[in-house]
Amino acid sequence: MNDYIKEREESTRKLAAEQVLPNVQWFPGHMTKARKIITENLKLVDVVIELLDARIPYSSANPMLQEIIAGKPKVVALNKSDLADPAITKKWVAYFRSKGIQAVAVDATQGKGTKQLVKITEELARSKTEKLVSKGAKARSARVMILGIPNVGKSSLINRLAGSNKAKTADKPGVTRAKQWIRLADSLELLDTPGILWPKFEDMNAGLKLAFTGAINDEAVDRELITGVFLDTMIKLYPERIKERYKITDELPETSGELLELIGKKRGCLVKGGVVDLEKAQRIVLTDFRSGKLGTVSLDTPPDIEETENSQEKN
């Protein structure tokens, strides 16, 4: 790819980010309120489940979570693992564990990994519950809450974990009646107020990836720009997935604009005069990615892996 194309690609990426980030509907007031609610609820639980999108674990993380939870035991759940590249997901799990953080890949829709998640959560809470008993308190179930940015599957995970136990358990002493608990297992209860965290605004690339996955509403972004940057990314990372999905036998075009035109023709997105309906083609591409029709795709890699790759490129 020549320097002109690279420069144009970077310009498109920056323009797309400028379109995305200002339109995310989070403001200082929202963040302050969300943080207050989460802080109040944290006092009631023993363990936090941080829910991330397995395709973009870095980009879907809240930048201030560690500060907010203030040392509360945490387990990372990499949701939508069925849509992510399994090899990279394994590296993410290993990365978190190397940092002393328990992590598990889950698919809330199908239930994959949820039993392991419950087991890890119970183990993390055990020291707290046993300590309470040693001080003369009555034995109780471990208590957990789920935190994550919008649209990473919090409701799906709660429904999957709760199963037929969706009925709320009785109010607990010292807990306002508005706080509802769901029994997940004999020794585990979930506070049914999943915490809504805000995404990374300041990170241009993270904002774009959130738009790719639909974590940022399509109505708030320029779909043309977002699709263009997404296709540029796929050309670099997963060109064969694009070729296979859209039955492209020749080499892929060097630019996303040319590729979108080709995809539009392949999928019959034509209007009068044989002109490609680009808006329809854009919707097809993004829907195919979000639904897994482009195969398993991961857009974030662990920081240690990124550093290794960068150093290799320089040598």
Q: Tens of pLDDT along the chain (315 residues)?
A: 455 445 555 655 565 556 555 555 555 676 778 788 888 889 889 999 999 999 999 999 988 888 888 789 999 999 999 999 999 999 999 999 999 999 999 999 999 999 999 999 999 988 877 776 677 777 778 899 999 888 888 888 988 888 755 544 444 433 334 567 888 877 889 987 756 777 666 778 888 898 899 888 788 788 999 999 999 999 999 999 999 999 999 999 989 999 999 999 999 999 988 899 999 999 999 999 999 999 999 999 997 566 645 655 565
* pLDDT in the model for residue 170: 41
Instruction: Identify whether 313 is part of a domain.
Output: no
Answer whether residue 312 is part of any domain: no
36 is in an annotated binding site: no
Residue 315: inside a domain: no
pLDDT at 306: 60
pLDDT for the residue numbered 217:
78
Q: What is the pLDDT of residue 285?
A: 98
What pLDDT is recorded for position 177? 43
Does 156 appear as a known binding residue?
yes
Q: Is residue 286 in some structural domain?
A: yes
In a shared domain, residues 169 and 35:
yes
According to the annotation, is 141 in a ligand binding site?
no
> What's the alpha-carbon Rg for the chain, to the nearest Å?
22
100 is in an annotated binding site: no
pTM: 0.84
Residues 144 and 178 in one domain: yes
User: What is the per-residue pLDDT for 66?
Assistant: 81
184 and 301 assigned to the same domain: no
Query: Is residue 80 marked as binding?
Result: yes
End position of a domain, from candidates 170, 196, 222 = 196
Q: Please state the three-class secondary structure of 27-52 as a single string.
A: CHHHHHHHHHHHHHHHCCCCEEEEEE
Contact 277, 264 (CB under 8 A): yes
Are 7 and 89 members of one domain? Answer: no
pLDDT value for 176: 36
Annotated binding residue at 152? yes
Tell me: is residue 311 an annotated ligand-binding position: no
Note the pLDDT of residue 31: 73
Q: Is 138 annotated as a binding residue?
A: no
> Is 195 known as a binding-site position?
yes
Same-domain check for residues 40 and 114: yes
Nearest to 59 by CA among 279, 303, 262, 269: 303
Do residues 113 and 159 both lie within one domain? yes
pLDDT for residue 173: 38
Residue 55 lies in a domain: yes
Residue 79: predicted pLDDT = 97
- Among candidate residues 160, 175, 196, the one where a domain is terminated: 196
Q: Name the domain count of the chain.
A: 2
Residue 305 has a pLDDT of 60
Strand duo 275-276 + 270-271: pairing: antiparallel
Q: What domain range includes position 139?
A: 25-196
CATH code (residue 251): 1.10.1580.10
297 and 160 part of one domain = no
- Residue 81 labelled as part of a binding site: yes
Residues 91 and 73 in one domain: yes
How many angstroms separate the CA atoms of 293 and 287, rounded?
8
If we measure between CA atoms, which residue out of 165, 148, 163 comes closest to residue 53? 148
My answer on whether 210 and 271 are in the same domain is yes
How confident is the model at residue 179, as a pLDDT?
Answer: 67
Q: Annotated binding residue at 79?
A: yes
Q: Which token pair is 85? A: 């590249």
pLDDT at position 191, please?
86
Looking at residue 152, which CATH number applies to its domain?
Answer: 3.40.50.300
Task: Give residue 218's pLDDT.
Answer: 82
